Amino acid sequence: MGKWAGGQANPSAIVIEDAIPRIIDAATWERVQKRIMENEKNKCNKSRVNREYLLSGLIRCRKCGGAWGGATTISSKGYEHSYYTCLNKRRLHTCDAKDMAAADIEPLVVNCLKDEILNGELIENTADAILQACKDDGADNTDAVKREISATEKKIENLMHTLEDGFDNDMVRNRIIGHQAHLKILRDRLSAAQPTPTVTREELIKELARDRDLLLVDPHYIRQALKKYIVNILIDDEVVEINAVSEYLANRTIPGGLYVCRGSETVNTAGCGSRI
């Protein structure tokens, strides 16, 4: 007993169990240790599993361009705090954008959806904005194809002049063949173009009204509606910019359709949803 064993367990050591009286019994000790391990395990993960982040996949950082994600922490007293944070800040430490409480940003966006997009009095305006954006986008695509067709025809014409001037070689002829093949593809694309939306105004209004009614009776539909009508949300320390489908369609912007809320450290929902 007490003999040096070279840093390893001494096989000659004598162990006396419970030589010192316990302050608490063994069963209570085991329960406490088990509870401590469970608390440590669930401290950061419990709410992450059960918490639904309504705006996941919608928020982008105005400072660095990265995505934002939801997170939840639990204080030592058991209080939960859910918030959204820039993932570049969290993972790479390359951004200093301030976090935003879920209790601030989520009601703001949901109210924007209900009051500005699916409001019964504004549904017709929303439908008209969507249809107009779709029509304009189709016309722009058609014009772009026409411009490319014109440019390709000009290239073919110039190469034909080159042949007429006596510069007849395989390289020139192969370039003409390539441009002619590309020209056929462009003309087929122009023929198949749909410059007008395939959905009617009445059908679109009916769908918007259906989604409005679902929001009133089914809280679980909120997330699906957000994904359907909110294109993205751009956030920095000063501005929350909510871009809805009625303002943005196929990467197009309809003037005057920008929702902006301004605040410093927290979002103030008073006055939000105004247009600039």
Q: Calculate the dihedral angle through the C-alpha atoms of 92, 93, 99, 102, rounding to the nearest 10 degrees.
A: 20
pLDDT per position as a tens digit, 29-75: 888 888 887 766 655 555 455 678 899 889 999 888 889 999 998 88
**pLDDT, position 47:** 47
Average pLDDT of span 120-147: 73
In a domain, 273, yes or no: no
Domain that holds residue 131: 125-191
| Helix (H) / strand (E) containing 239 | strand 239-244
- Maximum mean pLDDT: which of 19-23, 179-183, 258-262, 265-269: 179-183
Give the residue carrying structure tokens 């301030």: 98
pLDDT per position as a tens digit, 237-267: 888 888 887 544 433 333 333 333 333 233 3
In a domain, 186, yes or no: yes
CA 261 to chain centre: 18
CA distances 70 to 28, 87, 228, Å, are: 38, 9, 20
Name the percent of the chain lying above pLDDT 90. 11
In a domain, 217, yes or no: no
The answer to pTM > 0.75 is no
176, pLDDT greater than 70: yes
pLDDT per position as a tens digit, 92-125: 899 999 999 999 999 989 988 888 778 877 788 8
184, pLDDT greater than 50: yes
* Tokens linked to 166: 């006596």
In a domain, 61, yes or no: no
Neighbouring C-beta atoms of residue 207, cutoff 10 Å: 14
> Angle at CA 121, nearest 5°, toward 117 and 126?
35
- Return d(Cα 177, Cα 186) in angstroms, integer: 14
In a domain, 211, yes or no: no
Q: In this structure, are residues 190 and 149 in contact, taking their beta carbons and an 8 Å threshold?
A: yes
- Return d(Cα 250, Cα 133) in angstroms, integer: 8
- Return d(Cα 153, Cα 156) in angstroms, integer: 5
**pLDDT, position 83:** 94
Burial grade of 108 (CB within 10 A; 0-12, 13-18, 19 or more): buried
In a domain, 169, yes or no: yes
Neighbouring C-beta atoms of residue 142, cutoff 10 Å: 15
**pLDDT, position 43:** 54
Mean pLDDT of the chain: 75
**pLDDT, position 29:** 84
- Return d(Cα 63, Cα 241) in angstroms, integer: 13
224, pLDDT greater than 50: yes
Q: In this structure, are residues 235 and 158 in contact, taking their beta carbons and an 8 Å threshold?
A: no
pLDDT per position as a tens digit, 76-86: 887 889 999 99
**pLDDT, position 259:** 37
**pLDDT, position 4:** 58
Determine the residue type at 274: S
Shortest CA distance to 233 belongs to which of 140, 100, 142?
A: 100
In a domain, 202, yes or no: no
**pLDDT, position 185:** 80
**pLDDT, position 97:** 92
pLDDT per position as a tens digit, 164-174: 877 777 777 77
CA distances 53 to 47, 59, 222, 223, 229, Å, are: 11, 11, 11, 9, 17
**pLDDT, position 145:** 79
| Domains contained in the chain, number | 1
- Return d(Cα 60, Cα 241) in angstroms, integer: 10
**pLDDT, position 263:** 31
In a domain, 249, yes or no: no
